[in-house]
């Protein structure tokens, strides 16, 4: 028996636009094809690709990207962006995960951090270095060391061994590297020296409540006494992942993650990253509302598996079910073609 629904998995052939790799979308398609009658993959590289998707009017879109720019060569710096979720909302097409507003607030790390401060959620002191502007770190009263990363990228992009800096020269060099290579503004924040955690947030079926599933992340940078997750470590999937067995810490980071998720206006599922300061106080690092969904890769699937014994297939089906139930659509069963 398969469910008589048409699902389109949406991402892009352009890695800079997609939060979902080819490996991920193929795995999601293979999983959903076991249960749904028609599961396709749509690659959106231009606004016209989005128009074609909307014209086909699938029953559900599995989101794997946030927006497509009007001019593809500019991408993040293009002032005119076609937000996938917004256009699906306009045309009444349900989709997985969060809306445009939450995606914008999550993508821009300074906006996300400002929202945390407004919600009385701890986050490291920071400033944003604008592209083409002189460095102004010395005027912001941040304590060394500081951590430097692109202000509007995810997936560890732009984070390497030079992201942590102990002096102005090192800050200037890393800021120039990020602005030149990624054409991005730069977030400079005080480095939090405590343990890092990643929390998977998943709405409970048929409920407004959420599960908050925390894991501990650890990796030692070669030649240093600090630990952080760089782009190379993410790609190699080499970070150490542990359950959070200290009940007090687990409760603290899980609640902060849920509060941050709500402050962003997110829904259904997502990932919140948290780090402790030197006093053991948890602080919001950043969010990812389209987290990696590759089996045994990335924090979200690992947190689901370690904490709630949710395997890959169940995780994908849960995400789809949440979208269908939220939009009050009841799937219809038909006999599988043999």
What is the per-residue pLDDT for 333? 34
My answer on whether 155 and 282 are in the same domain is no
Query: Considering its fold, how many domains does the chain have in total?
Result: 3
| For residues 153-168, average pLDDT | 85
Whether the per-residue pLDDT at 235 is higher than 70: the answer is no
CA distance 120 to 152: 23
Please state, rounded to an integer, the average pLDDT across all residues of the chain.
88
Q: Residue 179 — very low, low, confident or very high, per pLDDT cuts 50/70/90?
A: confident
Residue 193: CB atoms within 10 A of its CB come to 14
Residue 322 lies in a domain: no
My answer on whether 182 and 208 are in the same domain is no
> Which string of DSSP letters, residue by residue, matches 121-150?
--B--EEEEPTTS---GGGTTPPSSEEEEE
Whether the per-residue pLDDT at 89 is higher than 60: the answer is yes
CB-CB contact of 204 with 183 (8 Å):
no
My answer on whether 250 and 117 are in the same domain is yes
pTM above 0.95, yes or no: no
Residue 85, SS3?
helix
My answer on whether 200 and 288 are in the same domain is yes
Torsion of the alpha carbons at 317, 322, 328 and 333, rounded to the nearest 10:
10
What is the per-residue pLDDT for 117? 97
Residue 331 lies in a domain: no
Whether the per-residue pLDDT at 330 is higher than 60: the answer is no
My answer on whether 130 and 56 are in the same domain is no
Express each pLDDT in 288-325 by its tens digit. 999 999 988 889 999 999 999 999 999 999 999 999 99
Boundaries of domain holding 146 = 125-190
Alpha helices in 124-246 (DSSP H): 168-182, 231-236
Closest among 265, 264, 282 to 274, alpha carbons compared? 282
């Amino acid at each position: 028996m398969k469910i008589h629904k048409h699902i389109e998995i949406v991402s892009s052939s352009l890695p800079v636009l997609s939060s979902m790799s080819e490996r991920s979308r193929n795995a999601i398609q293979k999983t959903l094809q076991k249960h749904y009658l028609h599961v396709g993959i749509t690659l959106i590289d231009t606004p016209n690709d989005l128009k074609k998707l909307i014209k086909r009017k699938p029953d559900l879109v599995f989101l794997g990207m946030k927006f497509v720019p009007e001019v593809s060569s500019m991408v993040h710096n293009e002032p005119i962006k076609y937000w996938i979720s917004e256009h699906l909302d306009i045309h009444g097409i349900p989709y997985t995960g969060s809306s445009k507003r939450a995606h914008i607030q999550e993508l821009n790390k300074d906006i996300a951090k400002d929202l945390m401060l407004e919600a009385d959620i701890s986050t490291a002191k920071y400033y944003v270095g604008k592209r083409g502007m002189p460095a102004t770190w010395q005027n912001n009263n941040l304590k060394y060391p500081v951590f430097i990363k692109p202000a509007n990228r995810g997936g560890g992009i732009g984070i390497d061994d030079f992201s942590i800096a102990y002096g102005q020269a090192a800050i200037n060099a890393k800021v120039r590297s990020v602005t030149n290579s990624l054409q991005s503004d730069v977030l400079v924040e005080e480095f939090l020296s405590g343990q890092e955690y990643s929390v998977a947030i998943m709405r409970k079926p048929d409920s407004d409540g959420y599960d908050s599933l925390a894991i501990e992340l650890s990796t030692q940078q070669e030649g240093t006494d600090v630990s952080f997750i760089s782009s190379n470590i993410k790609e190699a999937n080499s970070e150490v992942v542990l359950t959070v067995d200290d009940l007090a810490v687990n409760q603290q980071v899980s609640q902060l993650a849920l509060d941050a998720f709500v402050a962003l206006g997110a829904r259904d599922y997502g990932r919140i990253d948290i780090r402790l300061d030197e006093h053991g106080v948890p602080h919001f690092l950043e969010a990812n509302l389209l987290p990696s969904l590759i089996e045994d890769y990335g924090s979200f699937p690992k947190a689901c598996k370690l904490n709630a014994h949710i395997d890959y297939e169940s995780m994908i089906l849960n995400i789809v079910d949440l979208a269908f139930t939220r939009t009050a659509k009841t799937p219809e069963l038909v006999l599988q073609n043999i």
